[in-house]
Structure 1
Amino acid sequence: MAEPVSSTATTATLAAVAGLAMLPGIDAAVVLGAFAGAAVFVLSSDSLSLAKRAVFFVASFIAGLVAAAGVASLLARWLPIDASPGVGALLAAALAVKVLLWLIRLADDPAAAMRGMKGGGK
């Protein structure tokens, strides 16, 4: 049986996403794409605590909403078809926090990052 806290949190999250998708001026595909991308990121990060996953979910969701159009335009340059902003939101949400965490690890040890860029960090 599912825990009541997780069921309540899931229901509240889905209700919030559905409510946000119904607001005028906000593309429903972008909201659903950002939600799906954030969910993919959170489900793929097993080593994080529950509190960190919740914070990263929100950060990833917001990044997906904000960067949807930019990522979709980048995809349109690389692919022969036009990419939907929903697809851009999915990719932005799934990759935003992962890329930021990687950049933070690089900033922790800049000398190792420079060695890695030069090819001598093996």
Structure 2
Amino acid sequence: MTEPTSTGSLMTLATSVGLASLLPGIDGDALIGAFAGATLFVVSAKDLPIWKRLVYLAISVVAGYLGGTEVMQRFGVVSGGLAAFICAAVIVTLTLSMIERSRTADVTRLPRGGSDG
């Protein structure tokens, strides 16, 4: 069950994103797509505390917007919103999974530095 505070915060964030997309120089489609992808991640990460989800939301929106516009320019994707949505939804998920794998990695097999003689 969601808390009323998180619902109110989410509505405030959604309104802010909508207003920010009207600013000159901002790709509105990419910003809204990044926010939608970040929201998808935040809603699916139920095991994290609310403050971590909000931090990941902000990081995911920024990374999705920047990554989406980069993907759109480099690969010729027609929709900036779709590219930003995918980037925002995937980037934090991949980063968290890489962090978890690095914590459980077996580093005893790595060669040790130093001199032989």
TM-score (structure 1 length as normaliser): 0.74
Please identify which structure carries the higher helix content: 1
Equivalent of 2:96 in 101, 106, 112: 101
Aligned residues: 107
TM-score (structure 2 length as normaliser): 0.77
User: 2:86 aligned with 1:91, yes or no?
Assistant: yes
Asked if structure 2 preserves the Cα contact closer than 8 Å seen for 1:71 and 1:91, the reply is no
Give the percent of matched residue pairs that are identical in Structure 1 and Structure 2: 32
Structure 1 residue runs of 5 or longer lacking an equivalent are 77-81, 115-122
| Aligned residues: CA RMSD | 2.3
Structure 1 segments, 4+ long, off by >4 Å, are: 73-76
1:11 deviates by 3.1
1:14-33 equivalent positions in 2, closer than 5 A: 14-33=14-33
Of structures 1 and 2, the larger Rg is shown by: 2
Q: Distance in 1 between matches of 2:49 and 2:75?
A: 33
Structure 2 residue runs of 5 or longer lacking an equivalent are 110-117
Match for 1:94: what amino acid? A
1:69 deviates by 2.3
1:85 deviates by 1.5
Deviations 1:63-104 (A, max 9, x none): 11110123335765xxxxx44111110001001111111111
